[in-house]
Amino acid sequence: AAAPADAPTIFDKIIKKEIPANVVYEDDKVLAFRDIAPQAPTHILIIPKVKDGLTGLSKAEERHFEILGHLLYTAKLVAKQEGLEDGFRVVINDGPQGCQSVYHIHVHLLGGRQMNWPPG
């Protein structure tokens, strides 16, 4: 079930540096860090520093256009930084059927191995 829009998640603790994360990219609006349970040689999560109601993509509103573009563009920057010139995948899981587990929007960047299509 979806969590309330203002409910804190583990990612708030990472943003506040209350728990450690392996940060690979950061600017004023977004943070990118390695997933604790990587599903590929490169597996990075890209999140907005301010959630602003974006528990997941399904909650997006027009006011989020800029941050949504920023998240996706950061995936491109980090893919280049990680040397994923042969390709990569970005994923946004949403809701129970999308296997979302953390209700603070995040883009998964996966690479370093051959991906499969369709995903499971």
Q: By CB under 6 A, tell whether 12 contacts ligand 5GP.
A: no
Other residues' Cβ atoms within 10 Å of the Cβ of residue 59: 16
Phi–psi pair at 34, nearest 5 degrees: -70, 135
* Site size with ligand 5GP, rule: CB under 6 A: 13
Of the ranges 24-32, 61-69, 74-82, 93-101, which one interacts with ligand 5GP (CB under 6 A)? Answer: 93-101
Tell me: does residue 88 bind ligand 5GP (CB under 6 A). no
Span of 46-54, 65-73, 98-106, 112-120 interacting with ligand 5GP by CB under 6 A = 98-106
- Rounded to the nearest 10°, the torsion over CA 17, 21, 22, 23 is -40
Question: CB–CB of 42/90 below 8 Å?
Answer: no
Would you count residue 55 as binding ligand 5GP (CB under 6 A)?
Answer: no
C-alpha span between 24 and 33 (Å, rounded): 5
Q: Is 106 tagged catalytic?
A: yes
Which of 43, 70, 104, 106 is catalytic? The answer is: 106
What are the respective helix, strand and coil percentages of the chain, to the nearest 5? 25, 20, 55
Q: Which is nearer to ligand 5GP, 17 or 85 (CB)?
A: 17
**Residues at the interface with ligand 5GP (CB under 6 A):** 10, 21, 33-37, 45, 93, 99-102
Q: Active-site residues: which are they?
A: 106
